[in-house]
Amino acid sequence: MRILGIDPGTLVVGYGIIEAANDELTLVGFSSLTPPACAPIPQRLAYIYKGLVEVIELYQPDEVAVESPFADKNIKSALAIGKAQAVALLAAANHSLPVTEYSPACIKSRVAGSGNASKEQIQEMVRLLLNLAEIPQPNDAADALAVAICHHSQRAFTNIISQGDLT
């Protein structure tokens, strides 16, 4: 199963692709899309959409996982991220790919065992789980890989529950 994880944003969109075979995870690729910061939002969103379409067509994922926006105090920021998230959902839908969205707390919990894990702890767990020498850079790509790992973990858990094998 090939999973594309996406960490949406209007300034930087991280993406990471993993291959999951049973309990073994393999890094396929990762990077980020950086639209021109001075461009108006519609042009940035078009840039993100085009870039994600290219990523989907290049890596041919089976499923897509996207981090959902976190709305704490900065509602304007959360709304902007929501626009980038919608573009990611559209790119996946236009390629008939199943998409699952995960909250930041769920991703932290699935990857590091705690919904309160720090960004550094998540990035170190990504490095360990993918058997990498270094933490993937840029940070947005490492975050996207965490989203993909979270999706794999959630799927594995759901499969265990559906089979009734809780031993």
For the residues of 117-158, what is the DSSP string, one character each? --HHHHHHHHHHHTT-SS--SSHHHHHHHHHHHHHHHHHHHH
- Give the pLDDT score at 159: 63
Q: Is 143 a catalytic residue?
A: no
CATH number for position 115: 3.30.420.10
pLDDT > 90: what percent of the chain? 80
- Give the pLDDT score at 69: 80
- Give the pLDDT score at 76: 80
CB 1 within 8 A of CB 61: no
Query: Considering 23, 24, 62, 67, which one is annotated as catalytic?
Result: 67
Range of the domain at 23: 2-163
pLDDT at 79 over 80: yes
Number of domains in the chain: 1
For the stretch 17-48, pLDDT in tens is 999 998 899 999 999 999 999 999 999 999 99
For residue 123, name the pLDDT band (cuts at 50, 70, 90): very high
Q: Is 63 a catalytic residue?
A: no
Average pLDDT, the chain: 92
Annotated binding site: 7, 67, 140
Q: Is 72 a catalytic residue?
A: no
Query: Considering 23, 54, 134, 140, which one is annotated as catalytic?
Result: 140
